[in-house]
A and B are shown apart, each in its own frame.
Chain A
Amino acid sequence: MTFRDLVVISGGNLRRMKLRTFLTSAGVLIAIAAFVSMLSFGAGSQQNIERQFNKLGLFTTMQVYEKDNGREDRGRGGREKRDKENKNNGKDADSAVAKLDRDAVERISKIPGVNLAYPYDAFSVEVHIGDTTVESKAQALASVAFQTKIFSTLAYGTAFSSDTSRQVILSESLLKKAGIDSPKTLIGKPIVVMVKVSTIDSGLTHILVDKGESLFDRAKRIHYDSLLNKKYRSTVLRTEANELVKRFVNGFLNARSVIRDTLILCGVRESGERTGRLRVENVIIPIETAQRFKTGGLGGSPMDIMMAFMNGTLFASPEKSGNESFSQITIDFDPKVPYTNIKNAIEAMGYRTFSFAAEFEEIQKVFLYFDMALGLIGFIALVTASLGIVNTMVMSINERRREIGILKSLGAHETDIRALFLVESGVIGFLGTTAGIFFGWTITRIAAAIAKHYMEQEGIPGIDLFALPFWLIGIALAVGIGVSVVAGLYPAARAARVDPVAALRND
């Protein structure tokens, strides 16, 4: 008996029992539809992340950090702990940590496989566009960075002509915030960029003169006779000390010097990106041009002051140009070189790295567990549906005992009978699975359309949350048909055991 014969006979038998076949297949259909739609969500999410990684070239991007800037040491007491460890090792705290400065950029650039390296260097700015002022973070960027996928795609205009050009690139979202609806028209137009910095000098100056009152005038107001009275002495001294601190803080925060420059808008980016650790700011200024805005001091942002306080650099003297250190360096490497080679080379230099390729591997692992969990739910539904197949097949065998006896009398071997019923349950599974895949796909299309609609309403670019790759269709077919055939094993074995003498008896 050939497989074709088995399929033809099974098909004929199932056609004869249309309603029963439909209802049994419907169970498989619902289970497979659930299985497909759930895994389709997992596959879609994974595809979207992979697409985003590819778009930004993150598979060949790595971030480099100073070791003491690491998350494992972040938090209160981290620095003290490291200093203590370094002292125990007989090292000076500063010399033990490899700095991320221009030399480091140079050295990292020379590692085999590294295409280019550029620092991430950000500061707070105010951007004046027409009558509107927008506060934002600005990023000083080397023009070589425009060779990478992260920066190479601009919505309008071009990249910087050089690291010293007096140009600026703004994001669409910043321009939107400034009320610009057609960013293209601004290309080539001047943009005023301004930085306000607080310095120790301004703080100290305000100790001498604050709000029109000199320190001398203040001294004249002190009741010196109170100092002779033990009861009032400490109160007077505390009051005057507080006044000095108040004058300093007032000067440090409010009397900031202003650095202003007019730059030409050469390009517009789609929007500022923050994909995990990848940071692209809304304002991008050529790295050498940006030096003008970085003469020391702190920006007006409370976050800057807070960070400076936590890092212990609040009262640090301004670093000379060329010696400043960066919070991170971004590298772009050759896709043919394994990321682990680059990572090992950089870590050997005393830095900490973050690889997007490694992060993607972790994401894939998470998705694997996610898919397994979703698949398990669908599988449970399928197992439930398979009980329907067992029931249908057992009923069918009871009704067709004589037919089985006839086939055996004609020379059918037990294997033929078993195969006949297995193919029959497999055909039920195939019908239910193919319809289930189509039904599941339809559900995902509807859900995707609804999700896209809501995303667009929220101003988020609409993406397709679901995907139906060939591997998922293959898995659904294999699981659907496989479970159906397994469900047919018991009924098929029962059919093969039918005694032909008893089945053919006239009663």
Chain B
Amino acid sequence: MTMTSHIETKNLSRHYRRASHTVQALDNVSVSVGKGEYLSIVGSSGSGKTTLLNLLAGLDTPTSGSVDFDGASLSSFSRRQLAAYRAYKIGMIFQSFNLISHYTALQNVETALYFNNTLPAERRRLAMETLERLGLGDRIGHRPADLSGGEQQRVAVARAIIKKPEILFADEPTGNLDYDNANHIASLMRELNSEGLTIILVTHNLELAQQESQRVIRMQYGHVAADVQTSGAGARPV
């Protein structure tokens, strides 16, 4: 069975000019991700994983090539359409959580709904619901500094999924977590994927990638070095 392409890159390149030379962060990468797929991108530092993720999320602009979401090229989007794409279609979680330090857990989660026309009362209700679902019902008034790393990442997950995105981009989500918390986040993502959410995970941890995702891409020097289906827990018939 062939999965429908949800998001794909075609000959995607991203070069940076650094003084006298050009850095080829990504070079001619073509990847297709199906709806509901759990894809992991692994590779060493500087291999282009995060650059690829930023391009897929519409945060960065490619030097050449394109990113197509549901058949529409992000390059053809206006700045406002790109903002709407991030506000409605995708969620992001980061290694360093990227929570706003002076906001409470509840306010951090609510922030994701500021940009998709959700009414204030509805924002609050959804944020509380999502935090409770992730086991943080008693932490809504806490600021990030008062939460553990695992709790902060769960707040970040809550912020990413509250708007019911179609794709979740996770950049090293377990990189700063201990073993138990990493497992907790991993199982959470597995659960979200099982609900139909497309997940693209960037990680150094090959074991985690193989265990959780259905497919692993290995990046090297800005190229896709390998693209393999896995037989891990996340594996399912493709």
Q: Interface of A with B (CB < 8 Å)?
A: 1, 4-5, 12-13, 16, 402-403, 405-416, 500-501, 504, 506
Q: Interface of B with A (CB < 8 Å)?
A: 54, 57, 59-60, 79-80, 83-88, 92, 94-96, 98-100, 102, 111-112, 114-116, 120, 159
Inter-chain contact B100/A406, CB cutoff 8 Å: yes
Q: How far is the CA of A12 from the CA of B98 in the complex (A)?
A: 19
13 A-B contact pairs sorted by A residue (CB < 8 Å)? A16-B102, A405-B98, A406-B99, A408-B86, A410-B92, A411-B83, A411-B115, A412-B115, A413-B79, A413-B80, A500-B59, A504-B98, A506-B96
Residues of A within 8 A of B54 (CB): 501
Residues of A within 8 A of B87 (CB): 410-412
Residues of A within 8 A of B100 (CB): 403, 406
Residues of A within 8 A of B60 (CB): 501
Inter-chain contact B83/A409, CB cutoff 8 Å: no
Closest chain B residue to A413, Cβ basis: B83
Q: How far is the CB of A504 from chain B (nearest CB, A)?
A: 6
Residues of A within 8 A of B98 (CB): 402, 405-406, 409, 504
Residues of A within 8 A of B88 (CB): 411
Inter-chain contact B120/A409, CB cutoff 8 Å: no
For the A-B complex, the count of residue pairs with Cβ-Cβ distances under 8 Å equals 65
Inter-chain contact B57/A409, CB cutoff 8 Å: yes
Q: How far is the CB of B190 from chain A (nearest CB, A)?
A: 23
Closest chain A residue to B156, Cβ basis: A406
Other CB < 8 Å A-B pairs besides A410-B87, A413-B79, 11 of them?
A1-B114, A16-B102, A407-B114, A408-B86, A410-B114, A411-B83, A411-B84, A414-B79, A416-B115, A501-B59, A506-B95
Q: How far is the CA of A408 from the CA of B115 in the complex (A)?
A: 10
> What does DSSP make chain A's interface, helix, strand, loop or mixed?
helix
Inter-chain contact A409/B59, CB cutoff 8 Å: yes
Q: How far is the CB of A330 from chain B (nearest CB, A)?
A: 68
Q: How far is the CA of A345 from the CA of B86 in the complex (A)?
A: 77
Most interface-central of B80, B84, B86, B96 (chain A CB within 10 A) = B86
Inter-chain contact B59/A410, CB cutoff 8 Å: no
Closest chain B residue to A15, Cβ basis: B102
Residues of A within 8 A of B94 (CB): 504
Inter-chain contact B86/A410, CB cutoff 8 Å: yes
Inter-chain contact A413/B59, CB cutoff 8 Å: no
Residues of A within 8 A of B96 (CB): 506
- 10 smallest beta-carbon distances between A and B, as pairs: A411-B87, A411-B115, A413-B83, A411-B86, A500-B59, A1-B114, A410-B112, A501-B60, A406-B98, A501-B54
Q: How far is the CB of B199 from chain A (nearest CB, A)?
A: 17
Residues of A within 8 A of B114 (CB): 1, 5, 407, 410, 412, 416
Residues of A within 8 A of B111 (CB): 406-407, 410
Q: How far is the CA of A5 from the CA of B114 in the complex (A)?
A: 8
Closest chain B residue to A8, Cβ basis: B120
Q: How far is the CA of A402 from the CA of B100 in the complex (A)?
A: 8
Q: How far is the CB of B124 from chain A (nearest CB, A)?
A: 12
The answer, among B57, B84, B115, B159, for a CB contact under 8 Å with A1, is B115
The answer, among B84, B92, B116, for a CB contact under 8 Å with A409, is B92
Inter-chain contact B115/A413, CB cutoff 8 Å: yes
Q: How far is the CA of A406 from the CA of B102 in the complex (A)?
A: 13
Q: How far is the CA of A504 from the CA of B172 in the complex (A)?
A: 13
Q: How far is the CB of B226 from chain A (nearest CB, A)?
A: 25
Q: How far is the CB of B109 from chain A (nearest CB, A)?
A: 11
Inter-chain contact A410/B115, CB cutoff 8 Å: yes
Q: How far is the CB of B82 from chain A (nearest CB, A)?
A: 8
Closest chain B residue to A13, Cβ basis: B102
Closest chain A residue to B82, Cβ basis: A413
Closest chain B residue to A2, Cβ basis: B120
Q: How far is the CA of A406 from the CA of B115 in the complex (A)?
A: 12
